[in-house]
Amino acid sequence: MIDRLTVSALAAVLVAAATGAEAHPHVFVDAKVEIVFDNAGRLTAVRNIWQFDPAFTAFAVQGLDANDDGELSDEELAPLAKVNVQSLAEFDFFTFLTVGGQDMAFAPPSEYWLAFHSGRLTLFYTLPVEKPAAIEARATVEVFDPEYFVAFDFVRDGPVTLDGAPDGCSATYRPPGELDARTAAILSQIPADQREIPRDLREATSVLANLISVNCR
């Protein structure tokens, strides 16, 4: 997936396609989110923690063990993490923030790294909000891929955490809905090497958003 995560990860997608995983999505992620506040009570960042599926992990890390010691060090994973984060910018990091109904822009991440947990590649990165905002009305964070190339499934235990939030703030998580049969059938015919999908399909896949709502009283 040249434009999506990494050039090396292309191997994972192609192998998945070759072994019968023809339908979108092609990459599966277990996710959770941390909503970060500053001392003034303003929302300042969104931290994403994404754990990739075993097949994607296996192929994405091929050739990264430079010293052939059987393990991947932080230094060996660092270039892959950088390419991941840079590539995700084209897709708005699959993360969409609104505060009081207004879309909020993110600055490029300066904090990011890759690690292994339970044998799976896990990406940690922080998206700073360009203009930190007080939560005077509801804030929402949506995490999903409108093109449904990547499927996000939030963990059941602690899908969202508030970091430094003022007293009276709370967060709720709503899992994604299901695609209708027609949309699912159309997506099943789209090959792995086709990144973009038609606009009407993008609108239909909006039901796949993982929705976090933050309210402060």
CA distances from 79 to 7, 72, 86, 111 (A): 12, 12, 11, 13
Tell me what percent of the residues of the chain surpass a pLDDT of 90. 48
State how far the alpha carbon of 186 is from the alpha carbons of 90, 131, 151, 198, in Å: 25, 39, 16, 11
CA dist., res. 124 & res. 101, Å (int): 27
Query: DSSP assignment, residue 156?
Result: S
For residue 8, the model assigns a pLDDT of: 43
Q: How far apart are CA 32 and CA 48, in angstroms?
A: 6
- pTM of the full structure: 0.82
Instruction: Encode pLDDT of 136-181 as tens digits.
Output: 878 999 999 888 888 999 999 999 999 999 999 999 999 998 878 8
pLDDT at residue 20 greater than cutoff 50: no
Half-sphere exposure of 117 (CA within 13 A, CB side): 12
* 30 pLDDT higher than 60: yes
Spatial distance between the Cα atoms of 173 and 195, rounded to a whole number of angstroms: 28
pLDDT of residue 4: 43
Say if strands 210-216 and 169-174 run parallel, antiparallel, or are unpaired.
antiparallel
With a cut of 70, say whether residue 65 has pLDDT above it. no
Which is more confident, 217 or 122? 122
**Tokens 């933050």 belong to which residue?**
214
Q: What pLDDT is attached to residue 13?
A: 41
Beta bridge partners of 106: 129
Residue 130 vs residue 217, higher pLDDT: 130
Per-residue pLDDT band at 69 (split at 50, 70, 90): low
Q: State yes or no: pLDDT of 15 exceeds 70.
A: no
Q: What would the DSSP string read from start to end of 17-61?
A: HHTT--SSP-EEEEEEEEEEE-TTSEEEEEEEEEEE-HHHHHHHT
Gap between the Cα atoms of 95 and 46, Å rounded: 9
* Domain range annotation of the chain: 10-216
What is the pLDDT, as a whole number, of residue 58?
84
Q: Which residues contact 146 (CB under 8 A, 6 or more apart)?
A: 202, 205, 206
The token pair at 118 is: 């339970």
**Residues 6/90, Cβ–Cβ less than 8 Å:** no
Q: Report pLDDT digits (tens) over 83-139.
A: 889 989 988 999 999 998 899 999 999 899 999 888 899 999 999 999 999 998 789
Longest dimension (CA), the chain: 54
